[in-house]
Each structure stands twice: as C-alpha cells, then as structure tokens.
Chain A
Amino acid sequence: EDKVVQSPLSLVVHEGDTVTLNCSYEVTNFRSLLWYKQEKKAPTFLFMLTSSGIEKKSGRLSSILDKKELFSILNITATQTGDSAIYLCAVGPSGTYKYIFGTGTRLKVLA
C-alpha cells in the first residue's frame, strides 16, 4: 500500500531558528513530490520535486529529494511567526492523477 509519512508531527521553535521537516514515502512508480503550506484554509504550493539531489529554493525555504532513500526534506531558515502553519507533503505515483498526502507537520514559531 502506498504510504507517505511526515515527521515530526509537530514542532515549536523560536523566531530565527532553522527547522528541518521530513517526508518519507513508499509509493509504487514514484513520479513527483509536492510540498504545501496550509494555514487556515487552502494549501498553498511551495515546491515540486521530481529529480533526486536537486535543491529547490525560494527565499528562506528549500527542499531536496532523495529518490534512493525515498525521502525529502523541507528546510526553513531564520523562521518567522508567519511560518507557523501545517506543512504537507504529497507524493504522486506515475500513471495516475492521484496524490497521496502525509499527515503533515504542525509548525509553531514563537516570537
């Protein structure tokens, strides 16, 4: 059965800290991995990863995929209170439109 597991489930840090969120997966015929940030409503897209070892970066956020070890990490440097959210990882098997979501990591950044 296809599975996506995120860790930690929740995390509390102080502003300025660096955090690393993990997403591991067991998916038949992996196609792509997506990272989303969800605050109160809709998840907002962060990164899409399809190739191993290539870092995607956007400001203080970056992500990398390891297709051999079947995981991805999302790094947030110099965290701000506005980074407080649930971070979702989703994996898409090839040949289907189906994305499988992990349970998410709830991040709280304290001022």
Chain B
Amino acid sequence: DTEVTQTPKHLVMGMTNKKSLKCEQHMGHRAMYWYKQKAKKPPELMFVYSYEKLSINESVPSRFSPECPNSSLLNLHLHALQPEDSALYLCASSHRAAGVRTGELFFGEGSRLTVL
C-alpha cells in the first residue's frame, strides 16, 4: 500500500468548475511533487515543493494552482480547465538519501480527472 494518499480517486468537472486535488504523506518527506500523466505516456512534472516552498513550476498554465499548507499536505486547485487537461494526476514525495540531494519518488495512487 502506498504511503502517499490522494483524494479524490476520480473527479469529473465542467470547464467552469473549481475543484481541488489533495495529497497527504506522513513519511516526513520535505519534497512533494505533482505530475500529470496522459494515457500511454510517462509522467510529466508540473510542480515541486521543497520545505513548503515552490521550487519548480514547469511552465504550467495558471488554471492549475498548487498549494503546500504544511510539510504533509499538497493541494492542486483547478479552475477553468480544458478537456485536454483530462489525465491522471500523480502526487509524489521524496526525502534526502545518503550522498544525494533527494531519494526515490514515492507516488500516490493518483486522481483521475475528466474535464467535460
């Protein structure tokens, strides 16, 4: 079982809706990530938070708004999405491993988003 929990597992929303995806981890990891994965494609990095500060934004459209309220929680606020934003949204976390800045990514089960 994954130690990164994502809710909801499935979300259907219209283009005018506002919704949020939530992610929680209790492994003491200080880096948290949002990835987007389309069918038959690898995960694409969207955002990275390190010590609750936004570290990487991969030029993601502003209709996606991340938030890291504390070291265990990561949210992704969604507003005015397009049908092409339909995808599996994966949250991940990582810690420092010996000799390297960050260790492996631990993924949540994902939130499957459908935009109508």
Contacts and interface: CB of A to CB of B under 8 A. Distances in A.
Interface of A: 31-32, 34, 36, 41-45, 48, 50, 88, 90, 92, 94-99, 101-104
B100 A32 contact: yes
B101 A48 contact: no
Contacts of A31: 100-101
Contact of B101 (A34, A88, A95, A103): A95
Contact of B104 (A45, A97, A98): A45
A32 B105 CA distance: 12
A83 B44 CA distance: 24
B42 A88 contact: yes
Interface of B: 2, 4, 31, 33, 41-45, 48, 50, 55-56, 88, 90, 94, 97, 99-110
Interface of A is mostly: loop
A100 to B, nearest CB: 8
A45 B100 contact: no
Cβ-closest 7 pairs across A and B: A101-B42, A42-B107, A97-B48, A41-B109, A42-B109, A48-B104, A45-B104
Given A42-B90, A42-B108, A48-B97, A97 B56 contact: yes
